[in-house]
Amino acid sequence: MHAIGVDLGGTKTAAGVVSGTGELLFSETIPTLNRDGGEAILNATAVLVAGLIGRAAAAGIVVDHVGIGSAGVIDARKGEVVSATDALLGWAGIALTAGLAARLDLPPSSVQAVNDVHAHALGEAWTGAAAGTTSSLLVAFGTGVGGSYVLDGTPVLGHRHVGGHVGHFASPYAFHNGQPLPCVCGGAGHVEAIASGPAVPEAYRRLGGEAASPDARSVFALAANGDAIAIQTINVAAAAAGQAVGGLANILDPEVVVVSGGLSDAGAPWWRPMERAARAELLPALAGIRVLPASLGNAAAIVGAARLVLTPATIFQRN
């Protein structure tokens, strides 16, 4: 059996044909029409998926199931977008699975969806860094901070579909001059406000950095050239991330922790202080827990999304 997995994000949408063993056979990527509204996004996604179905058919592969990992809060049972940020205008309220199924002339039951970080974690748990484990915690530090706890092959979605929003609890690092830093969720003092990618250049400027630093990549480049404020900024962001990872591990006691996202891809300058802070936070019983980098890269959410429809009974039995 084969399925198509879709990774629908705020800037790009990637999709690919995945085998029953989790092998990504081929994939394609398009820009997400994030300013054009939900219906336009669905239309473009349907064209992308239809093209892959045709490409698979030309290779003698029948594909009639589609899994989606989408940005936003997703009601996986109804296949609807409960809420979404302005990164995707008009996305909230979209009947995601029914709308895509209708456009592809597929039965509604053949299309399933979850939040994109859950799809990412499911991919890593199936064939990636957490393969072969009974439980794994994935935490992603990128444009935002998200996570997912996969237990016996099932991502824990939560009663109100917001399970995994691990960027939105308090961090003692998310303060400046005694005031909590504002968070994109409308709260303040949260992990995401100090440990996400966009938080890095903001912290650099807040700490007095003078050189241009439009994004996290620029701050890492400055640090590599010996900029003391850039080095301090990265150490603080990484420590905040690690403390959050360690605290979550204390709560959930997963077999393994997987860390992903753009910041983790920066390598040792971020990874080492992150892991050091994580291990300092762990309870003694968790001292030997493995903290691993994600291994599937951009394929993770595609593979995980396909897993939704390749083993649907397993995915939804607990949620």
The CA distance from 163 to 169, in Å, is 12
Task: Return phi, psi of residue 229, to 5°.
Answer: -70, -40
Tell me, what's the pLDDT at 318? 59
What global pTM score does this model have? Answer: 0.94
The CA distance from 189 to 158, in Å, is 23
Spacing of C-alpha 111 from chain mean position: 20
Note down pLDDT in tens along the chain; length 319 residues: 999 999 999 999 999 999 999 999 999 999 999 999 999 999 999 999 999 999 999 999 999 999 999 999 999 999 999 999 888 999 999 999 999 999 999 999 999 999 999 999 999 999 999 999 999 999 999 999 999 999 999 999 999 999 999 999 999 999 999 999 999 999 999 999 999 999 999 999 999 997 777 899 999 999 999 999 999 999 999 999 999 999 999 999 999 999 999 999 999 999 999 999 999 999 999 999 999 999 999 999 999 999 999 987 556 655 6
The CA distance from 147 to 141, in Å, is 9
**Extents of the domains making up the chain:** 2-122+298-316, 133-294
133-294 matches 2-122+298-316 in CATH topology:
yes
The answer to whether 149 touches 122, Cβ cutoff 8 Å, is: no
Burial call 110-149: b when 16+ CB within 10 Å, e when fewer: bbbbbbbbbbbbbbbbbbbbbeebebbbbbbbbbbbbbbb
The answer for residues whose C-beta is within 8 angstroms of residue 298's C-beta and 6 or more apart is: 7, 14
Within 10 angstroms of residue 211's Cβ, the number of other Cβ atoms is: 14
> Which pair of structure tokens corresponds to residue 317?
């039995």
The CA distance from 273 to 8, in Å, is 31
Task: Return phi, psi of residue 216, to 5°.
Answer: -60, -35
Within 10 angstroms of residue 284's Cβ, the number of other Cβ atoms is: 6
Tell me, what's the pLDDT at 73? 95
CATH superfamily of 2-122+298-316: ATPase, nucleotide binding domain (3.30.420.40)
**What are the Cα distances from residue 158, in Å, to 73, 149, 165, 198?**
11, 10, 10, 27
Cα-based angle 180, 185, 189 (whole degrees, multiple of 5):
15
The answer for residues whose C-beta is within 8 angstroms of residue 186's C-beta and 6 or more apart is: none
> Which pair of structure tokens corresponds to residue 190?
């949260």
The CA distance from 26 to 17, in Å, is 6
Question: Beta strand 256-260 with 175-176: parallel, antiparallel or unpaired?
Answer: unpaired
CATH superfamily of 133-294: ATPase, nucleotide binding domain (3.30.420.40)
Question: Beta strand 290-293 with 145-151: parallel, antiparallel or unpaired?
Answer: unpaired
**What are the Cα distances from residue 166, in Å, to 71, 102, 171, 208, 278?**
15, 34, 11, 29, 15
Question: Beta strand 179-180 with 256-260: parallel, antiparallel or unpaired?
Answer: unpaired
